């Protein structure tokens, strides 16, 4: 399939990452019917309707939304990884959009300098640059991934336990994971979900405390990638949204090193990491037409602008009572006990103040 202009220079034309939309064209609304094999598997799974609206199935310990179950099964059974693949992973509403933008801008900087006026991120939403395989495979569009040149850059919300061994244990592929303090994650999830199906925050809160959220329980999601990063740090990079937010330049440098495209001394002296941070900042992204209009998603169309709300630490204080916060903190602390991972330094530190304690920095929160 032909790529849309502008394209990289001739010497880089077949080297990825290249904006997904440039390779495959516009999104298609066609939805394939799950295979009989897939349908039989789904029919045997425990099923609930979260918030009374969204059907989810419990599969290998994770709550997967109905529309994405075929994609999970296809990923496990038929996905063919390529050397150099990079998988960006996260729970929903934990910095996915920001990580997509930073990873794409970092990996593709030779073909697309971050200061260039025609940079793909200035004309496309980050979700149009990096494909979301959960939806893509669920819709049966496997061949669209095949059209991407290596190294392929993709993302998922799947728990680590759902990844096939060909991805999770692949020495020629890398995983970058980002997580967020659960209370802020929940608030962001609520705002985001309300753009298509409004609900009371208390509904989502109770569901989260029970471990019933999309791709949850969140503690299992975080622990899976945390343990994988400890077992194979050369293959799994574990990032915390808050640490990236408070020092994004260092975060981009760390990301580049892990991805095998480190910045040279000349790059650093020229301010290239800072240029990438500026390009990917919420201030820049909010002002772009591609992010003020349009929507993305195969099964649910979320407005692009919904991905750029606040991008702050501590907004939970404006939505939760101290008792609610203490309850969720206690649950998460208990689930993470003994793992060496804690959210205490980014969670409890904000509890006493209910206004104006948000910490801001150039970021995207979804």
- Under DSSP, the state recorded for 361 is -
Q: Whole-number mean pLDDT of the chain?
A: 86
Confidence of residue 307 (pLDDT cuts 50, 70, 90): low
In a domain, 46, yes or no: no
What percentage of the chain reaches a pLDDT higher than 90?
A: 67
Q: How many domains does the chain have?
A: 1
Q: Name, in order, each residue with C-beta under 8 angstroms of 288's C-beta and a sequence gap of 6 or more.
A: 121, 122, 123
Q: Which bin fits 330, alpha (ψ -120 to 50), beta or left (φ > 0)?
A: alpha
Is 160 a catalytic site residue? no
Given 57, 157, 160, 304, the catalytic residue: 157
Q: Which band of pLDDT confidence, cut at 50, 70 and 90, is reported for residue 292?
A: confident
**CA separation for the pair 305, 307 (Å, rounded):** 5
> Is 131 part of any domain?
yes
Residue 170 covered by a domain:
yes
In which residue are the tokens 């309707």 written?
A: 49
Residues 6+ apart with CB under 8 A from 131: 20, 144, 145, 148, 154, 155
Give a yes or no: residue 272 inside a domain: yes
Listed ranges 181-185, 193-197, 349-353, 357-361; the one with the highest mean pLDDT: 181-185
What is the structure's pLDDT at 26?
A: 60
Asked whether the predicted pLDDT for residue 362 surpasses 70, the reply is no
Task: Tell whether 52 is covered by a domain.
Answer: no
What tokens appear for 324 in the block? 């609610």
User: How far is 353 from 349, CA to CA, in rounded Å?
Assistant: 9
Residue 104 above 80 pLDDT?
Answer: yes
The pair of structure tokens assigned to 128 is: 């149009």
Domain membership of residue 32 (yes or no) is: no
* pLDDT confidence bin for 12, thresholds 50/70/90: very low
Q: Which domain CATH number covers 314? A: 3.40.50.300
- Reported as type and span, the H/E element at residue 174 is strand 174-179
Report which of residues 362 and 54 the model is more confident about.
Answer: 54
Residue 10's pLDDT is what? 35
Q: Which residue has the higher pLDDT, 291 or 209?
A: 209
Average pLDDT over residues 281-304: 80
In a domain, 216, yes or no: yes
Task: Tell me the CB-side half-sphere exposure of residue 190, using CA atoms within 13 A.
Answer: 21
pTM here? 0.88
Average pLDDT over residues 330-345: 91
Exposed e or buried b per residue across 157-191, where buried means at least 16 C-beta atoms within 10 angstroms of its C-beta: bbbbbbbeeebbebeebbbbbbbbbbbbbbbbbbb
Q: What is the pLDDT of residue 349?
A: 36
Residue by residue, DSSP assigns 93-146 as TSSHHHHHHHHHHHHTTTTS-TT-TT-HHHHS-HHHHS-BHHHHHHTT-HHHHH
pLDDT(361) > 60: no
Q: Which residue has the higher pLDDT, 315 or 236?
A: 236
Q: What is the pLDDT of residues 129-141, one digit of tens each?
A: 999 999 999 988 8
Predicted local confidence at residue 301, as pLDDT: 72
Tell me: pLDDT of 319 over 80.
Answer: yes
Predicted local confidence at residue 353, as pLDDT: 33
So what's the pLDDT on residue 296? 76
Predicted confidence at residue 113, as pLDDT, reads 96
Domain-located, residue 18: no
Quick one: 90 exposed, middle or buried, by C-beta within 10 A (0-12, 13-18, 19+)? buried
- Non-local (6+) Cβ contacts of 11 within 8 A are none
The boundaries of the domain holding residue 170 are 68-360
Going by pLDDT thresholds of 50, 70 and 90, the confidence category of residue 359 is very low
């Amino acid at each position: 399939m032909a790529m849309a202009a502008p394209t990289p220079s001739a010497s880089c034309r077949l080297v990825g990452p290249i904006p997904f939309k440039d390779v495959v064209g516009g999104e298609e609304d066609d939805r394939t019917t799950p295979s009989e094999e897939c349908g039989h598997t789904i029919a045997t799974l425990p099923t609930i309707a979260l918030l009374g609206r969204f059907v989810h199935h419990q599969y290998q310990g994770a709550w997967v939304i109905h529309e994405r179950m075929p994609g999970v099964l296809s990923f496990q059974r038929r996905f063919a990884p390529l050397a150099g693949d990079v998988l960006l992973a996260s729970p929903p509403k934990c910095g996915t959009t920001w990580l997509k933008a930073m990873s794409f801008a970092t990996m593709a900087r030779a073909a697309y300098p971050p200061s260039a006026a025609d940079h793909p991120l200035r004309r496309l939403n980050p979700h149009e640059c990096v494909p979301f395989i959960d939806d893509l495979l669920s819709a049966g569009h496997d061949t669209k991934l095949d059209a991407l040149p290596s190294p392929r850059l993709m993302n998922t919300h799947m728990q680590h336990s759902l990844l096939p061994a060909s991805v999770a244990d692949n020495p020629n592929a890398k995983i970058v994971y980002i997580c967020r303090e659960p209370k802020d994650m929940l608030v962001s999830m609520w705002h985001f979900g309300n753009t298509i199906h409004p609900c009371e925050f208390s509904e989502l809160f109770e569901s989260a405390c029970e471990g019933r959220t999309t791709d949850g329980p969140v503690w299992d999601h975080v622990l899976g990638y945390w343990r994988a990063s400890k077992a194979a740090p050369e293959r799994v990079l574990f990032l915390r949204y808050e640490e990236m937010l408070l020092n994004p330049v260092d975060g981009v440098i760390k990301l580049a090193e892990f991805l095998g495209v480190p910045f040279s001394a000349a790059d650093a002296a020229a301010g290239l990491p800072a240029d990438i941070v500026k390009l990917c900042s919420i201030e820049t992204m909010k002002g772009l037409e591609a992010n003020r209009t349009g929507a993305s998603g195969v099964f649910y169309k979320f407005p692009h602008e919904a991905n750029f709300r606040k991008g702050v630490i501590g907004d939970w204080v404006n939505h939760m009572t101290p008792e609610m916060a203490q309850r969720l903190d206690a649950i998460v602390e208990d689930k993470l006990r003994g793992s060496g991972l804690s959210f205490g330094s980014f969670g409890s530190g904000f509890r006493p103040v209910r206004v104006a304690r948000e910490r801001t920095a150039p970021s995207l929160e979804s």
